[in-house]
Every structure is written in C-alpha cells, then in structure tokens.
Chains A and B, each alone.
Chain A
Amino acid sequence: MPDASISLLVNGAPVSVTPGTTVAAAILMSGPRARISVTGEPRAPLCGMGICFECRATINGFAHTRSCQVLCEPGMDVRTA
C-alpha cells in the first residue's frame, strides 16, 4: 500500500487517490459518469487507452483532455461538464 495519498477536485468536490491513479479513475470514484455528450447522453471511459475519447474532461482549464491518459496530481481541478 502506498502510504501517501493525493487530493484533487472533481467538479469542485475533493477526492483522495493513491499515487499512480488516472484522472479517469478519480472521476469514476466521484460519480457514475465522465461527461454528458452534445446530444445529452451520459458518457464514461470505454477503452482506457486514449482511443475512444469518451473520458474527456477539462483538466486544469484544458478542455477535451483524455482523462485516462493523465495521472492525478495534488490540487488538480477536474471538470466533467
């Protein structure tokens, strides 16, 4: 067990994860979906390897970032809508 944990914000709510956790995983820890599509459908990570683009989120102000390709860092601001 890693002894340190990382705190970040997902849609304004604090989430604690172990180092090495992807942002996609942190998003799922905070709720059931990653984002809402332009036609209003709920989306969640599918491939987990940067291909399907379903896990996109705004990370530290950068929109449409594939959250499965980014590891959590302390103080990150993650937004799914």
Chain B
Amino acid sequence: MSEDWDVVVAGAGIVGAACAHECASRGLRTAIVEAGEIGGGATAAGMGHIVVMDDSPAQLALTSYSQGLWRELASRLPAGAEYESCGTLWVASDEEEMEEVHRKRALYATVGIASEVLDSHSLSEAEPHLSPALAGALLVPSDGVLYPPCAAEYLVRDSVRLGAKLYSPFKVISAGDGLVRLNDGTELRAPRIINALGSEATTLLPDLPIRKRKGHLVITDRYPGFVHHQLVELGYLKSAHSIATDSVAFNIQPRKTGQVLLGSSRQFGAEDSTVDYSMVAAMIERARVFMPEIGTLSAIRIWTGFRAATPDKLPLIGPWQDDPTLFLAAGHEGLGITTSLGTAKVLVDYLVDGETQIPIDPYLPARFVRSEAHA
C-alpha cells in the first residue's frame, strides 16, 4: 500500500506532535507515525517545565520564542495538560550568584522576558520552605509547568481534526528519498519527511550527533502549598551542563495535585533505564541544601528517562544535507517540552516560506558537518 502526503512526521513525542500540528494548521496534508504511545518517551519522563534559559544566545532565542507560544496556546489546552504559569525562581546561594541574578535579569529583558530580583527576605516570603541562608533569586513569572504527554496528545488529536492521519502503533523502518516505509509494509510518499524521534533519531540516521543523557525524577505524595514556583538553583548551568561528568542539580516543581516533582540528574553512557539510587541520593542531598525539609516528604515514585543530547546543547532543526527530502527536529536535550512549539514554527516556516521569525542558522544540522570539515 502506498499513500501520498505533503509531510510525514516520524515520532509523536512533544516535538513531532508540535511539528505535525504546525503542518496541519498550515493546510499541509500530514501523516504522523508513532511506534509506541503518543508522548510516551522522553516527553512522559520529563518535568514539563516551560522555561527560558540562556546557556547561549541561540538557546535564549528559541526558549523565549517558545515560552511565548505556549502562553498563546495555554487557553486551548485541555485541563489534563495541567498548564500553570507558576513562574521560575532561579535561586542564588551567595552574593556572587546574586551578581548573576542581575546579569540574567538584564539579559532576559533584551528578549522581552520580564523578571524580578528578590532579596533573601522576599525569597523566604515567596517560598517559606527554602533555606533562609540563601542570598535571593530571580523570579521569571512568565515561565510555567505542564503535563507533557497530555499536551502532546492534544497536539496530535487537533492535527487529526485538521486532517492529519496518525499511524500508530507503527515503526518507521526506513526514511529517505521521499519515502517512509513502515513495519507492516505501508509506504508513505512525501517530498518532506521530518525525523522527530528524539534520542531514537539515530536509528534512522546513525551519523547524527545525538547521545542519550539519562535523568532521574522523584515525585512525592500530595503536599499542597509546600512549594509555589518551579525552583532551580542558579548554579544549574554550572552543575548540570558540564558535558563530561555525571551531575545533579536542585530543581523542584509544584504540580497542580499538590505533589512535588524533584530533579535532576544527568549521566552520559548510562543506557540502562534502571534507577541508580546513588544518583537519587545525590539529588536529594543537593535538594536538602536548598530546602532542608524536603527529607520529610514521602516519595511515591522514581523513574528515569533519556534526553537527546547534542554536543553544543542546541537542537537539530532543518534539512539533512545528504537527502533533500529529509528534515530534522530532534536533539532537544532537557528543553524539548519548552522548545517544541518554537521548533515546529521555525521548521515549518522554513519549509513553507523559507523565512523564520527567529534565525534558523544556529540549529541547522549542517553546523556539525562544517565543523568536522574544518577540523
């Protein structure tokens, strides 16, 4: 059986779902292929923090653009998506980190993201369970949290309403030269094929510079009011983003249910999904530095997931140089929920109009080929 489409999207995680939704919204005849459940991979494993981050100018551009798109979409999300504009508090441990708070506030203002500096006293009032020894924080009120699998489900269902077709559960066996082959022999023909398979994107393109980066999360029983904002240690970039080593960082989130979601860990070379209790212990010890009473809460589940990490911590968005029909929307590491909507806009704008609202260049997959050629 052979069917013709304008676009075939491989993968219905949050990124594939967003790409399919954007295509269908533009009137493109769109097919979505998912081997498991919608949003069942890294999308279901992550925290669902919609956050503006500034590891690089390109990361700031994509996260701030995407955060705005989530705010626009929020009113249309189903209740199950649990979107809440709770804001992020970037917590500073000492006066040196308070200088970083001020730098961050000024930088965020340049991309239209308002934020507010809290001193130690204001921080204690905002989050009474934080240690009073902390120096202060930057509050970014426009950040939020949501439950990503439900958001992915909404994006796929709305795509189908707009005329897209979901092939599930079907595995993509091969993709290229305008042809996607599924495991049951179905052939989908399209001039544009989007690989949005996350950390599995390498199964179709083994040369992609994507590695799995394991993470752990802990969720507690219901403690309404224990924490009000998403709290992240300001040293997060320092402690969590060194590519070389295993690391943990204080990162805690209030869920609408009153549950508390606690992260985070990062490990390369750990391909096994088993919970590593030494990492969990390190996460909890780190959290106790910031929030001493965290140890009195009762955890009910611990799980792991795999981020799709690239060497420069930016996603791969755009054409794959070896095949003019093949495009990428993968490699979003720990920011896939946030940047899914921006990724979809940038990629589909590029496909349809050739012009994008933020420059696509930093995310083009060709950047790795160039750097290798020059090495």
Rounded to whole angstroms, the CA-CA distance of A65 and B257 in the bound complex is 18
Q: Mark A47-81, 1 if CB is under 8 A from B, else 0.
A: 00000000010000011110000000000000000
In this assembly, does A38 line the interface, its C-beta being within 8 Å of a C-beta of chain B? yes
Rounded to whole angstroms, the CA-CA distance of A62 and B223 in the bound complex is 10
In this assembly, does B222 line the interface, its C-beta being within 8 Å of a C-beta of chain A? yes
Contacts of A62 in B (CB 8 A): 296
In this assembly, does B298 line the interface, its C-beta being within 8 Å of a C-beta of chain A? yes
Shortest distance from the beta carbon of B128 to any chain A beta carbon, whole Å: 14
| Chain B minimum-CB-distance residue to A56 | B221
Shortest distance from the beta carbon of B50 to any chain A beta carbon, whole Å: 25
Rounded to whole angstroms, the CA-CA distance of A42 and B39 in the bound complex is 34
Q: Mark B281-323, 1 if CB is under 8 A from A, else 0.
A: 0000000000000001010000000000000000000000000
Rounded to whole angstroms, the CA-CA distance of A62 and B298 in the bound complex is 9
| Chain A minimum-CB-distance residue to B224 | A63
Once A and B bind, how many residue pairs between them come within 8 Å at the CB atom? 12
Among A56, A63, A65, residue most surrounded by chain B Cβ atoms (within 10 Å): A63
Rounded to whole angstroms, the CA-CA distance of A56 and B298 in the bound complex is 11
Rounded to whole angstroms, the CA-CA distance of A32 and B49 in the bound complex is 42
Cβ–Cβ contact A38 & B222, under 8 A = yes
Shortest distance from the beta carbon of B142 to any chain A beta carbon, whole Å: 30
Shortest distance from the beta carbon of B206 to any chain A beta carbon, whole Å: 46
Contacts of B222 in A (CB 8 A): 38, 64
Rounded to whole angstroms, the CA-CA distance of A63 and B221 in the bound complex is 9
Contacts of B257 in A (CB 8 A): 38
| Chain A minimum-CB-distance residue to B257 | A38
| Chain A minimum-CB-distance residue to B258 | A38
Contacts of B298 in A (CB 8 A): 63-65
Rounded to whole angstroms, the CA-CA distance of A56 and B221 in the bound complex is 11
Contacts of A56 in B (CB 8 A): 221
| Chain A minimum-CB-distance residue to B296 | A62
Rounded to whole angstroms, the CA-CA distance of A56 and B296 in the bound complex is 14
Contacts of A38 in B (CB 8 A): 222, 257
Rounded to whole angstroms, the CA-CA distance of A65 and B222 in the bound complex is 12
Rounded to whole angstroms, the CA-CA distance of A65 and B296 in the bound complex is 10
Contacts of B223 in A (CB 8 A): 63-64
Rounded to whole angstroms, the CA-CA distance of A26 and B296 in the bound complex is 23
Shortest distance from the beta carbon of B79 to any chain A beta carbon, whole Å: 15
Shortest distance from the beta carbon of A41 to any chain B beta carbon, whole Å: 15
Shortest distance from the beta carbon of A65 to any chain B beta carbon, whole Å: 8
Which residues of A come within 8 Å of B, CB atoms?
38, 56, 62-65
Q: What are 12 residue pairs bridging A and B, where the CB atoms are less than 8 Å apart in the complex?
A: A38-B222, A38-B257, A56-B221, A62-B296, A63-B221, A63-B223, A63-B298, A64-B221, A64-B222, A64-B223, A64-B298, A65-B298
Given A38-B222, A63-B221, 4 more A-B residue pairs with CB atoms under 8 Å apart are: A56-B221, A63-B223, A64-B221, A64-B222
The 10 closest A-B pairs by CB, nearest first: A64-B221, A64-B298, A62-B296, A63-B223, A38-B222, A63-B221, A64-B222, A65-B298, A64-B223, A56-B221
